[in-house]
Amino acid sequence: MRKPIWRYFRNIKNKLIFGHYGRDVYIFPGGRILRPQFIWIGDHVRIGKHAEIFARPGRSRSKEYLLEICNNVHIGSHNIIGARRSVVLEENALLGPGVIVLDHTHQYENVEVPIKDQDVTEGPIRIERDCWIGANVFILPNVTIGQHAVVGANSVVNRDIPPYTLATGAPARVIKQYDFDLKKWVRVDGQGSLME
């Protein structure tokens, strides 16, 4: 099936305004991307309907990429992804609908100053290759989600998730881990030890 001619022209425009814009990228209707010059997009990427993606550099003359979306990444509808420091979505990452990924958060400690006027805390986020992030997950700053990890729907991720694990909850904790010797997923107890 041939692609509509308007997609061809839109991709030419996007190649000019993004930091990098790969082949076969499709941004569904209603997607909103702010400051695309700080965003690197690889090949075969899909960005769902009404996703909002933005980059906000700390230095006005910065040339660095703040958000890197690698090859074959799928970003679901109504996602919010905000990068002030660094957000990396590695190859084949799959984000369900309603996922929020923010590498920054407001400080709140000074009760004499409105929270919206206080400084922002920043920390990098990396979602490694082959991860699946379920619907309505919220990922906070200073987090790495390891390769082929799964985060269950409605979870809040505020610490690293090891590779080849399944984590759920608010805050998210590991409940399963892939055992390469047994070649199957095995339950994990509250202390991170494998259960028989």
Is 106 a known active-site residue?
A: yes
CA distance linking residue 102 with residue 140, whole number of Å: 6
Catalytic residue among 50, 104, 106, 148: 106
Q: Helices marked H in the chain — which ranges?
A: 5-17
b/e string for 49-88 if b means 16 or more Cβ within 10 A? eebebbbebeeeeeeebbbbbbbbbbbbbbbbbbbbbbbb
Q: For residue 20, give the 3-state DSSP assignment.
A: strand
CA distance linking residue 156 with residue 66, whole number of Å: 22
Residues annotated as catalytic (active site), given as ranges: 106
